[in-house]
Structure 1
Amino acid sequence: MEINIRKGTTEDLPVVLGILDSAVAWLNGKGITAQWGTEPFSARPAAVEQVQRTMAEGDLWIAEANGVPAGTMTLTPRPGKHVPPAPEPEVYVRLLATEARFHHHRVGAALLAHATTETRRQKISLLRVDCFAGSEGRLVAYYEKQGFTRTDTFAVGDWQGQILERRV
């Protein structure tokens, strides 16, 4: 399967929401409801607004597998509101998600490799991401396999998060 990554635009909002909705359904099917809840992003006006704000803060990227949208991420110069910015320039991976049909096809790995390339292109040496720390730390372990190292933790209510970084 060939994965190509293209720059997204505001016109891609329905594509991004479709990927995020698919990821929520996939997670729920695995019994994971604490990460992104049980409602689709597209059914929650506040979530749609958050996605739009995140897209506006940085560069949206869409991974396509054989021409079909398979994943998304937005790279921003700073994290979201619940994570303090780094004391140096950084690129922050936000809203990384894979469409359910493409799990286990290395779509996320391709997007993270692209994030590394973009970080280098910007002459920045710090790439960071945060993720859900629950579910026995499976997502944290995934990022560690992609070359990230744990740094700080944070919480939003009872939602536990892990911040990870990678030097590029």
Structure 2
Amino acid sequence: MSFQVREVGTVEGDGSFIVSVFDAVIPFLESIGSNEQWGTTLFSHRDGFTEETLQQVRQSEQLSLTDKKNDENDGLRIFIVERELTDDPLDETSSPTPLRVHVAADGRRLLSVGFAFVREDWVPRYIASQPHLCVERTDTIYLEVIITDSRVDSSLRHGAGAALLREIQKYGHARQKRVIYLDGWAGNQKKLVRYYEQQGFQAIDDFSLPRADKAPWLGTLMRMNI
């Protein structure tokens, strides 16, 4: 079995898939002791989240057609990683929510297992507001979010994140970018930060974001040369 990565919008229902993966990651993070990363409320239950996400999907689709970055889309591209299913049919009944399998034009059965949002020459405001963080804004890619579908058995999704990161590197190289930035949650013994280090990212510095009635959100800014 192998992974393939495609841009969002080439298969019907990509937006709904992305929202469902955001929701699925909440109980998963809680199960591994990382519930402080994104809280306990499902993303689809947060005001405006679903509508905003579907709008972002449309922006990415449009940008892939026009290749015209503007203030509205910030160079947003969304990628979906899929795993080819070859032998035994996937037992979708093992998941409380049906997993997403579609048949490609060449007859291959493809299981959607994750996604990534990237933006060109862009820095999130919460990073730009940190004076001690040095971030270049020109000829760069910012990996805004990357999630694999925790409803998919680990034997099928293992390596999906790495496949997405490799594709983002290729995308950045083709766009003549020099650096990929991301920020990761630094709680739970920095397990997420360690994962990104294993994928070739280097930590720049830590930061914290205040939250009302909660402990600060702890993060680490990271980079990888393309």
- TM-score, with structure 1 as normaliser: 0.90
Kindly provide the CA deviation profile for residues 96-151 of structure 1, in whole angstroms up to 9, marking residues without a partner as x: 00101254611110001111111101001111111101010000000000000001
Where do residues 106-117 of structure 1 align in structure 2 (5 Å cutoff)? 106-117=159-170
Q: Which has the larger radius of gyration?
A: 2
Kindly provide the CA deviation profile for residues 56-104 of structure 1, in whole angstroms up to 9, marking residues without a partner as x: 4300101112212101101101132211252432101112001012546
Provide the residue aligned with 2:98 in structure 1. none
The alpha-carbon distance between structure 1 residues 93 and 54, as it changes in their structure 2 partners (threshold 3 A), is: farther
Query: Per-residue deviation at 1:162?
Result: 0.8
Higher mean C-alpha deviation, range 27-36 or range 84-93: 84-93
User: Is 1:65 the equivalent of 2:83?
Assistant: yes
Which 4+ runs in 1 deviate beyond 4 A? 52-55
Provide the residue aligned with 1:136 in structure 2. 189
Provide the residue aligned with 2:149 in structure 1. 99
Structure 1 stretches lacking a partner, 5+ long? none
Provide the residue aligned with 1:121 in structure 2. 174
Identity %: 24
Kindly provide the CA deviation profile for residues 33-53 of structure 1, in whole angstroms up to 9, marking residues without a partner as x: 101111211111244356457
**What is the number of residues matched between the two proteins?**
168
Query: Per-residue deviation at 1:11?
Result: 5.4
Whether the 8 Å contact between 1:54 and 1:94 is mirrored in structure 2 is no
CA-atom RMSD in angstroms: 2.0
Provide the residue aligned with 1:40 in structure 2. 42
